[in-house]
């Protein structure tokens, strides 16, 4: 009894082997369309294995070849089905089974039944596919068995056999066929959903990167636009005109660097590490933001120690971070206000503060600040702040935010001082 159960379980394992490798079959289909070759190989092996190790129950011998043949034909198509039929007939001949001609005559008509179902199979629903697999198996089993028994003159055995056992085996194998199709279709549906999710994620990434590039490039272009408008004034001195022109060129160069960074996102270029004098950088950032601040009725104040405040880092990226933060602070003061830049040295570190007198933020908003795609602005993407936080972190610095609703927000950036002992 134990051996019989073991043989049955082994046959079930063999029959369901294609289910195990079905994800790989689908992957092969996506890559080069050779899934039919894989299906042919897998189900040919299944047919040979089930015929080699049949199950013996109550003195009757049977195998699950009809299950493998029906499923392989339905999912493989006409040519795969034809090959699988040839495998069954050739391997049965190799095994030396009797009445080979009678078996061929009784077996081949079932091919026509399978072809009829194969043509319609792909367009059916899940339930219809399960029913089709059961009908195909039943046709193969009943037509071939009845015709074969008639040809060898043993038709009476079908009548005198154990009715419950005989049809119980057929019902069990029908159930296996239906379950097989259900599992395969579930795999297929899950794979399609996974593809849809991956495709959606890719589109989201493209959209987010596009939004990020737009946000980052807009800042320098806004500055350039403001200074070009200032250069159009008739009473502008030559020195101021040259100074504005210099800032425009530097901002355009910064925009070019930003675009280059995103174009080489998969393989970032090494940062250009240099000594940065914070007084000069704050002067530069304040000048860049002046035209935008004036438009928003915001006054910019600078409070910087006279001593040199030197740090190491990428100058262009630090400017990008400070301009992003400064621009956000200006936009947080729709009714006007004061934007303050301060820089001083504390315990071997340079502390840069950017403070505003704007609308402020709640504790919940501060906790989410700097996370991807969160913004306190109606049309904001949150990417500017996220990029700024990332730049400071790469410079081995830290950034803290203090805010109070209706009173303003202060960003405190702490970076190691170069000449710290």
- Which residues share a beta bridge with 376? none
pLDDT band at 127 (very low <50, low <70, confident <90, very high): very high
48 and 87 Cβ atoms separated by less than 8 Å: yes
SS3 content of the chain, % helix, strand, coil (to 5): 65, 15, 20
pLDDT at 340: 96
Residue 152, number of CB atoms within 10 A of its CB: 14
b/e string for 388-420 if b means 16 or more Cβ within 10 A?
bbebbeebebebebebeeeebbbbebbbebbee
CB contact at 8 A, 289 and 326:
yes
Where is average pLDDT lowest: 138-152, 158-172, 203-217, 293-307? Answer: 158-172
Average of pLDDT values for 237-243? 87
pLDDT given for residue 280 in this prediction: 92
Cβ(181)–Cβ(129) under 8 Å? yes
Residue 13, judged by CB atoms within 10 A of its CB (0-12, 13-18, 19+), counts as: exposed
Across the range 141-154, mean pLDDT stands at 84
Question: What kind and span of H or E run contains 179?
Answer: helix 163-231
**pLDDT per residue as tens digits for the range 333-390:** 999 999 999 999 998 999 999 999 999 999 888 887 866 555 566 545 456 787 788 8
pLDDT above 70 for 147:
yes
Rounded to an integer, what distance in angstroms lies between the CA atom of residue 291 and that of residue 302? 16
What pLDDT, on a 0 to 100 scale, did the predictor assign at position 372?
56
Q: What is the pLDDT of residues 150-202, one digit of tens each?
A: 888 877 766 656 656 667 778 888 888 888 889 888 888 887 888 788 888 77
3-state secondary structure of 353: strand
Is the dihedral angle over the CA atoms 209, 211, 215, 221 positive or is it negative?
positive
CA dist list (Å): 171 to 71, 137, 142, 174, 178 = 16, 10, 12, 5, 11
pLDDT, tens only, 48-80: 998 888 877 666 677 888 888 888 888 888 889
Measured between alpha carbons, how far is residue 199 from residues 33, 205, 328, 372 in Å? 20, 10, 33, 20
Q: Among positive and negative, which fits the CA dihedral 135, 136, 137, 143?
A: positive
310-332 confidence digits (pLDDT tens): 999 999 889 989 998 999 999 99
Give the tokens for residue 151: 């040809």
User: To the nearest 10°, the Cα dihedral for 239, 244, 247, 248?
Assistant: -140
29 pLDDT higher than 60: no
Per-residue pLDDT for 266 more than 50?
Answer: no
């Amino acid at each position: 009894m134990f051996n019989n159960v073991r043989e049955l379980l082994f046959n079930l394992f063999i029959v369901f082997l294609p289910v195990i490798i079905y994800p790989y079959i689908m992957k092969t289909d996506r890559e080069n369309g050779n899934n039919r070759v894989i299906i042919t190989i897998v189900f040919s092996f299944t047919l040979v294995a089930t015929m080699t190790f049949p199950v013996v129950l109550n003195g009757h011998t049977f195998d699950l070849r009809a299950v493998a043949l029906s499923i392989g034909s339905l999912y493989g198509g006409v040519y795969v089905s034809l090959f699988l039929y040839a495998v069954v007939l050739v391997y049965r001949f190799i095994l030396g089974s009797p009445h080979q001609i009678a078996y061929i005559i009784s077996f081949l008509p079932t091919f026509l039944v399978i072809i009829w179902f194969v043509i319609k199979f792909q367009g059916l629903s899940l339930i219809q596919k399960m029913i089709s697999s059961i009908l195909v198996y039943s046709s193969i089993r009943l037509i071939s068995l009845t015709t074969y028994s008639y040809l060898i003159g043993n038709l009476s055995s079908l009548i005198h056999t154990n009715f419950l056992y005989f049809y119980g085996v057929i019902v069990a194998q029908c159930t296996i066929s239906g379950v097989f199709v259900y599992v395969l279709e579930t795999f297929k549906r899950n794979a399609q959903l996974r593809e849809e999710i991956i495709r959606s994620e890719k589109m989201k990434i493209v959209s987010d990167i596009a939004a990020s590039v737009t946000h980052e490039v807009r800042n320098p272009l806004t500055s350039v636009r403001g200074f070009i408008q200032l250069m159009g004034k008739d009473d502008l001195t030559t020195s101021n005109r040259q100074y504005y022109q210099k800032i425009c060129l530097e901002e355009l160069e910064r925009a070019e660097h930003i675009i280059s960074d995103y174009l080489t996102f998969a393989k970032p270029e090494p940062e250009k590490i240099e000594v940065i004098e914070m007084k000069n950088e704050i002067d530069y950032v304040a000048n860049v933001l002046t035209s935008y601040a004036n438009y928003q009725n915001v006054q910019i104040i600078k409070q910087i120690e006279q001593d040199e405040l030197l740090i190491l880092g990428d100058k262009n990226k630090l400017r990008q971070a400070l301009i992003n933060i400064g621009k956000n602070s200006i936009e947080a003061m729709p009714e006007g206000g004061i934007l303050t830049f301060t820089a001083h040295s504390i315990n071997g570190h340079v502390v840069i503060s950017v403070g505003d007198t704007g609308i402020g933020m709640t504790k919940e908003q501060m906790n989410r600040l700097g996370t991807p795609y969160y913004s306190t602005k109606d049309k904001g993407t949150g990417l500017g702040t996220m990029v700024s936080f990332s730049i400071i972190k790469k410079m081995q610095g830290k950034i803290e935010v203090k805010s109070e609703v209706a009173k303003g927000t202060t960003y405190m950036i702490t970076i190691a001082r170069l000449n710290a002992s």
